[in-house]
Amino acid sequence: MIRIIIGLLLLIAVNIMSAAQSNDLLQAIVTKAVVQTRHQFQKPELKEDQLAVTVLDLNQKTIARASVNGDQRFYPASIIKLFYLVATHRWLEDKKLSQTDELRRAMHDMIVDSSNDATGYIVDMLTGTTAGPELSPADLELWSQKRDVVTHYYTSLGFTNVNANRKPWGDGPFGRESQAQKVHAPENNYLSTNDTARLLSEIALMESISSDRSKQMLELLDREPYRKNHITNYQATAFSAAGLPANTKLWSKAGWTSSVRHDAILIELPSGKRYIIVTFTAGKEHATNHTLIASVVKRIVTELNK
């Protein structure tokens, strides 16, 4: 029975992946937007490998896809929390976890507020591991194997550029967390814009785990309550939002550190058309630039909105 279920999951994953097809017109829009944005940001220079963008058009029976550097691996910062959210719902669906008020609170804070503390709790629950002092080599090996369970889950579904076995940190890892980074490569999580766009599209299309669970995830990603009510929410205002037309609905998960700045968004334009735009940027010289991502998004959406 387990083999049958795994086989069905793989079949669904392949079908979803094949459903998204490259589109010449969309590709031209994305490529042009990237070229123009790189030309705009020259001091300091925005290098070719410091920007990746993937766009999905959800408005046709067959999803149209376009990307620049879409399979390039970036340190994901808090974008990885989107992958931990989906994994949590998968574990809940499979009865590997039980829904509790504390788990519900952690999922909310992880996505809505991008809390690293909440994410650490989620990672512990998903993997059956905890932080703490250094371990013996044998115990560290067992601990690391458990930590890889989320990565293996996404690999089983056909994701090719997902490493999800580290917690996000403020001041950095200590003890066994630091020890594992030094012993087991890769040192950090990584994602691509293509894989992130795929995951977000499955949520948007109500195909992630179940329609009910997809709906619950979308509720956490919804930035509209903060934008409409002028409630401070960094993710709702400081990334792609400035590049969107008025009255565009926004669902998103952003990520930022001193060396990267990313945003993954689902938008619904006033026309009712829906798109996913995932933008990753790298480089300390760009990480505090609040206009770069919005500039890319504005160029893309302006063309899509014609």
pLDDT of residue 232: 79
pTM of the model: 0.92
Q: Assign 260 to helix, strand or coil.
A: strand
Q: Quick one: 139 and 180 in the same domain?
A: yes
Which structure tokens are listed for 64?
């149209």
Q: Quick one: 42 and 116 in the same domain?
A: no
pLDDT of residue 302: 97
Residue linked to tokens 């279920």: 5
pLDDT of residue 227: 79
Q: Quick one: 52 and 68 in the same domain?
A: yes
Q: Quick one: 232 and 157 in the same domain?
A: no
Q: pLDDT band for position 19 (50/70/90)?
A: low
Q: Quick one: 113 and 69 in the same domain?
A: no
The verdict on whether omega for the bond into residue 44 sits within 30 degrees of 0, i.e. cis, is yes
In a domain, 280, yes or no: yes
Q: Provide the domain limits for residue 36.
A: 21-73+212-306
Show Cβ contacts of residue 65 under 8 Å, excluding neighbours closer than 6 positions.
20, 21, 22, 23, 26, 54, 55, 56, 57, 194, 197
pLDDT digits (tens, 9 = 90+) for 117-160: 999 999 999 999 999 999 999 999 999 999 999 999 999 999 99
What average pLDDT does the segment 162-189 reach?
A: 95
Q: Quick one: 176 and 234 in the same domain?
A: no
What average pLDDT does the segment 24-47 reach?
A: 97
Q: Quick one: 43 and 83 in the same domain?
A: no
Q: Quick one: 228 and 293 in the same domain?
A: yes
pLDDT digits (tens, 9 = 90+) for 62-121: 999 999 999 999 999 999 999 999 999 999 999 999 999 999 999 999 999 999 999 999
Q: Quick one: 61 and 79 in the same domain?
A: no
Q: Quick one: 225 and 166 in the same domain?
A: no
